[in-house]
Chains A and B, each alone.
Chain A
């Protein structure tokens, strides 16, 4: 290559440009464009051969309001909501205890929360299935202790699905909560204590509001994935306890009605966006309150 050309090309291929190009290229091609494509797919006409074709139609969106699907939708929302509440009730005190521990112990226990992830979550769900089965651990204990004289039907109930979802998702609730307890200024609690606030008042007016971002973040990353976990519903829920994920998977991989599946996904993205907006509001409120506190001091 003649030197003049080399000098022309060189500034075009700097390290900095390469990094920026790679960032935008990868995120554009595999994140932005696919999301737009799903949105577009949801208003196309289904076609068995080509999956989705013109013309544009709102039929798939109209079908979302079919009572059959509305029912599944609500049931799925309900299962996920109960899961989220249980995760929060278990995770909040648990994260609090973890956050107050001295460094080494804290690290060890947090590490122990991650270890279960290394057995694939499908395999863990299978383990839950074995435990809840008629001859599984729970029923053996129940019958053994004489609480019931024959095994209780635990599998293929809403209970089993919620149990499985809480089992898989609890660490996702605990981790953001621990980090928001870390940010909590202990002096504020002490000050409240010195000023005569009781246990409940300290919790209600100081601890809870200041850890709200963690609560909302934890709830988001439990609630949203919970609706999609089709394998949990498949293994533990039977035919009656479907999640939104089961419908989406079915539409995409079995029925191959892509526009309808896409419409469901966009609806899910809509719920996600609404909840994230709430998250930002909660965060903003905390920041504003923090500002006021600073002025006060």
Chain B
């Protein structure tokens, strides 16, 4: 009895999490524009999206920012995790504190701090502001993922390398990097996910020259129903699933 109750609770939560998304994906193939009932299979919304140049551009820009931000955040975050784990330097506690602040701050607060610094520095809002903001808010998540892995492995390996005369950059390249590789992949995927999901920070640091998805979509869905958004949901989901499947296969082969 308890078991039945337990599992129906789990199923109900997942159904609730997935139902709205499932409706979007199903409706992306639905002839009916409003999607209240099934009127037959079509690909016309996909065609319509591919012909909607502005929306398509915003979609590609979003993917570009997510991929670039994830990559830079992973590189920078791995180095920061290394610094915090391995080196002693002034203001180290402050550095970890700042990473903690970025992780815990609500997006709206981060969004404002980014907007203020970009205006103060005279950075034009657009590609660069979006990229820097996305890198920064992904950073702490990469750092904690990599840091946890660094803490887990054998210190003697590094000491042995040091005794044998390897320099810092060599130790990093030949020992640390291969050992934390799974954490690096995990950090990249997490960053990619966070960047793609973000609405609030992007709304503040975007500019007319470079538009990304949430800003375009916002104006579309505020007024009414747009079937192209259903298609976007389906595409985003499939691209991310492909990425994860790919990286899982990659990791399985290596380890």
The segment from B46-54, B96-104, B150-158, B177-185 found at the interface with A is B96-104
* Contact A27-B106, Cβ < 8 Å, known A124-B20, A235-B222: no
Are B108 and A115 touching (Cβ within 8 A)? no
Residue of A29, A113, A127 near B21 (CB, 8 A) is: A127
Within 8 A of A (CB), among B81-101: 82-84, 87, 89, 91, 94-95, 98-99, 101
Distance, CA A261 to CA B17, complexed state (A):
34
Q: Does B199 contact A (CB under 8 A)?
A: yes
On chain A, the residues within 8 Å of B200 by CB distance are 228-231, 245
Binds B, one of A59-67, A90-98, A154-162, A285-293: A90-98
Shortest distance from the beta carbon of B143 to any chain A beta carbon, whole Å: 9
Are B222 and A272 touching (Cβ within 8 A)?
Answer: no
Query: Which residue of chain A has the shortest Cβ distance to B194 in the bound complex?
Result: A117
Across the interface, B101 reaches (CB within 8 A) one of A31, A114, A136, namely A31
Could you tell me the distance between the alpha carbons of A138 and B203 in the complex, rounded to whole angstroms? Answer: 31
**Whose C-beta in chain B lies nearest to the C-beta of A135?**
B36
Which residues on the B side are within 8 Å of A8 (C-beta)?
none
With A30-B117, A97-B6, A245-B200 as contacts: A122 and B221 at CB distance below 8 Å: yes
| CA A19 to CA B80, docked complex, whole Å | 7
Cβ–Cβ < 8 Å partners of B95 in chain A? 23-24, 27
Contact of A227 among B16, B91, B106, B241 (CB under 8 A): B106
Q: Which of A180-188, A190-198, A201-209, A246-254 contacts B (4 or more CB under 8 A)?
A: A246-254
Report the separation of the CA atoms of residues A265 and B115 in the bound assembly, to the nearest whole angstrom.
13
Dominant secondary structure of chain B at its interface with chain A: helix
Per DSSP, chain A at the interface is helix
| 1/0 contact string of B98-121 vs chain A (CB within 8 Å) | 110110111111001111110110
- CA–CA, A14 and B214, complex, Å: 42
With an 8 A cutoff between CB atoms, is B197 at the interface?
Answer: yes
14 interchain pairs, CB-CB under 8 A: A24-B89, A30-B132, A31-B98, A33-B117, A35-B113, A94-B10, A118-B193, A120-B62, A122-B199, A127-B24, A227-B108, A235-B221, A245-B108, A265-B109
Binding site for A on B (CB under 8 A): 6, 9-10, 13-14, 16-21, 23-24, 34-36, 62, 76, 79-80, 82-84, 87, 89, 91, 94-95, 98-99, 101-102, 104-109, 112-117, 119-120, 132, 136, 139, 167-169, 172, 193-194, 196-200, 203-204, 213-214, 217-218, 221-222, 225, 229, 232-233, 236-237, 239-241
In the complex, given contacts A15-B167, A245-B108, what are 4 additional A-B residue pairs having Cβ atoms less than 8 angstroms apart? A37-B116, A127-B23, A127-B233, A221-B104
